[in-house]
Amino acid sequence: MSEKWLTGKVVENRHWTDTLFSLRVEGAPLGFRAGQFVRIALDIEGQRVARAFSFVNPPDDPVLEFYGVIVPEGPLSPRLARLRPGDALDVASNPAGFLVLSEVPDAETLWLISTGTGLAPFLSILRTPEPWTRFRNVVVVHAVRYARELAYRDLIQRTGARYVSFVSREAAPGSLAGRIPAAIADGRLEAAAGLPLSAATAHAMLCGNPQMLKDVQAALAARGMRKHRRRVPGHITVESFW
Ligand SMILES: Cc1cc2nc3c(=O)[nH]c(=O)nc-3n(C[C@H](O)[C@H](O)[C@H](O)COP(=O)(O)OP(=O)(O)OC[C@H]3O[C@@H](n4cnc5c(N)ncnc54)[C@H](O)[C@@H]3O)c2cc1C
Ligand SMILES: NC(=O)c1ccc[n+]([C@@H]2O[C@H](COP(=O)([O-])OP(=O)(O)OC[C@H]3O[C@@H](n4cnc5c(N)ncnc54)[C@H](OP(=O)(O)O)[C@@H]3O)[C@@H](O)[C@H]2O)c1
């Protein structure tokens, strides 16, 4: 069956840094659940090039928002970064994905753990009522290479979530140094959040770099936390970006 496409119009392309951008797109009304993604596409030299992007906007906001990074050698992302207000962007009609709170069991604390643009789906989730009615605490963990890449920090702090940032390639006051898995292992992440990260109290949703997903799952396994499955409940839900 051929994929159905809606053609939206770019209304804003905000550049946070040389490589990070947020596209806002009107005119492509879609039903989706916070945390899901959709394929977006451009026709490049006569070929349709489509990639998955997570929604940043909450489902009740009709202006779609996507948060992207330029992969210099990638076919689509450098072109998305160059879109300007008024340009067309095709959006598939079938959002999908399981990084959604309806797939997450109850817990005391919801940990939303991301690297880079893996933050995107959590921005949508944070702006729905569900995390605030179901969990006593919500912690957002965002790891980037450089402090200037800590996008959406103000928005996250306005939601009331506890916010822990990591900056791995320069010293950055207010952020932890190094990588998330090491800070789980040595207790620095829990100390920064002021909350335990344990099978008894926590559910962790992870999104971003696939190697980070593996390493964080190994660090959490050492604390007795395992992947959640519908038939075998656990404590970890993941989505890989590549
Ligand atoms: C379910 C899902 C949701 C996604 N949501 C987003 C999103 O919200 N924002 C976003 O920027 N990307 C997202 N991606 C990745 C996106 O689909 C593209 O791969 C990305 O935009 C690069 O496209 P490209 O055509 O330029 O290069 P591609 O040929 O797709 O990728 C080339 C290489 O770039 C690297 N890469 C790809 N994506 C990223 C990334 N996000 N950060 C760092 N390195 C990367 C990988 O090494 C990959 O092999 C998602 C992917 C999946 C599977
Ligand atoms: N030029 C290069 O050599 C190179 C290499 C990779 C990607 N890229 C490109 O650079 C762009 C930016 O990517 P990005 O910075 O958003 O994403 P990223 O490379 O995934 O880095 C984001 C954060 O995740 C951390 N991280 C990486 N691997 C991890 C792991 N196994 N466990 C825990 N944390 C981990 C990084 O720490 P660290 O700083 O310690 O890695 C960094 O803090 C992309 O376009 C990508 O294609 C370039």
59 class by beta-carbon count within 10 Å (0-12 exposed, 13-18 middle, 19+ buried): middle
Per-residue pLDDT tens digits for 54-89: 999 999 999 999 999 999 999 999 999 999 999 999
Phi, psi of 140 (to 5 degrees): -105, 125
**211 ligand 2 Cβ < 6 A:** yes
How far, in Å, is the centroid of ligand 2 from the Cα of 114? 11
Token representation of residue 183 = 């800070």
Specify whether the backbone of 116 is left (phi greater than 0), alpha (psi in -120 to 50) or beta.
left
Place of tokens 């320069």: 170
Query: Could you tell me the distance, in angstroms and rounded to a whole number, from the CA of residue 13 to the centre of ligand 1?
Result: 18
Q: Ligand 2 pocket check: which of 54, 79, 141, 168 to mutate, most ligand atoms within 8 Å of Cβ?
A: 168
> What is the per-residue pLDDT across 154-195, written as a single tens digit (0 to 9) for each?
999 999 999 999 999 999 999 999 999 999 999 999 999 999
Q: pLDDT (tens digit, 9 = 90+) per residue, 11-62?
A: 999 999 999 999 999 999 999 999 999 999 999 999 999 999 999 999 999 9
Residue 121 binned pLDDT confidence (cut-offs 50, 70, 90): very high
- Residue pair 40/66 in contact (Cβ under 8 Å)? The answer is yes
Percent of the chain with pLDDT over 90: 99
**Is 37 a pocket residue for ligand 1 (Cβ < 6 Å)?**
yes
- pTM beyond 0.85: the answer is yes
Question: Measured from the CA of 167, which atom of ligand 2 is nearest?
Answer: 43
User: In this predicted structure, what is the pLDDT of residue 1?
Assistant: 60
pLDDT of residue 197: 97
